[in-house]
Amino acid sequence: MFSLKDKTAIVTGGGSGIGKAIAQIFARQGSSVHILDMDENAKNLVKEINADGGRSAFHPCNVSVQSEIKSIVESIVAADGGIHILVNNAGIAHIGNAETTAEEDVVRLFNVNIKGVYNCLHEVIPVMKKTGGVILNMASIASTVGITDRFAYSMTKGAVVGMTLATARDFIAHRIRCNCISPARVHTPFVDGFLAKTYPGKEKEMFEKLSKGQPIGRMAQPEEVAYLALYLCSDEASFITGCDYPIDGGFIKLNN
């Protein structure tokens, strides 16, 4: 079950965190994985995957630049013959409310979290229309519930959910499924970097506080999100489209 053999997948932001876990698990399940990331360290992940018998490639990419996505998609199609899975995982965060968030921060988040997803959809969907495929977008519980000081981030993730529903509806006749995942807090290098920068000397204390802020009492591990991604992108989920899946340790329904 959950085999991705003979599938070609794109994972944006696949060099670290959730994207890295998705790339690793997809490769393990037989997919050829193309990792799009701005971080050159993603090359090390590709080496690890290929050394373990998987198939992967790294493409330096800024998802906010459509011409870069277009060129990469063309090269992947030329090499692999098609694209069966697109995981729009690349994203950036910001802390601030409507008063404290600067205009340049709104634009920066829009370019990556919204325009980046659009760019990939725009370039990959024409390829998928020939064979069918699966699109998975990374949203957030911030698109569903109010979270303090996440104004711009919440805005962009709400847009991701909207793009997911529109894409699922528009291309269902072309055998293209589109869903999204909405994680709560996940223990990634981003979290560690945020704590070190914001709470120097109190990282452990604040990590515990953030972890206990979720009803389940801990943060998710990237692999836990990746396993849900695997299911939604597999043939076993062939009847699922147009859905947003919270993976939140009970945050939305139980945190009251």
pLDDT digits (tens, 9 = 90+) for 118-167: 999 999 999 999 999 999 999 999 999 999 999 999 999 999 999 999 99
Which residues, in sequence order, are CB contacts of 85 under 8 Å at separation 6+? 4, 7, 8, 9, 10, 26, 31, 133, 134, 135, 136, 233
Amino acid letter, 251: F
Q: What is the pLDDT of residues 81-128, one digit of tens each?
A: 999 999 999 999 999 999 999 999 999 999 999 999 999 999 999 999
pLDDT (average), residues 189-199: 88
Q: How far apart are CA 122 and CA 113, in angstroms?
A: 15
pLDDT confidence tier of residue 190, bands split at 50, 70 and 90: confident
Tell me, what's the pLDDT at 30? 98
Tell me, what's the pLDDT at 255? 76
Enter the tokens of residue 10. Answer: 């794109």
Q: How far apart are CA 158 and CA 39, in angstroms?
A: 26
Q: Which CATH number fits domain 8-184+221-249: 3.30.450.20, 3.40.50.720, 3.90.1150.10, 3.40.640.10?
A: 3.40.50.720
Local structure of 3: helix, strand or coil: coil
Q: Please report, for the chain, the start and end positions of each structural domain, with discontinuous segments joined by +.
A: 8-184+221-249, 186-219
Active site residue 245: no
pLDDT above 70 for 31: yes
pLDDT confidence tier of residue 194, bands split at 50, 70 and 90: confident
Q: Which of 118, 153, 227, 231 is catalytic?
A: 153
Find the length of the chain: 256
Q: What is the pLDDT of residues 46-62, one digit of tens each?
A: 999 999 999 999 999 99
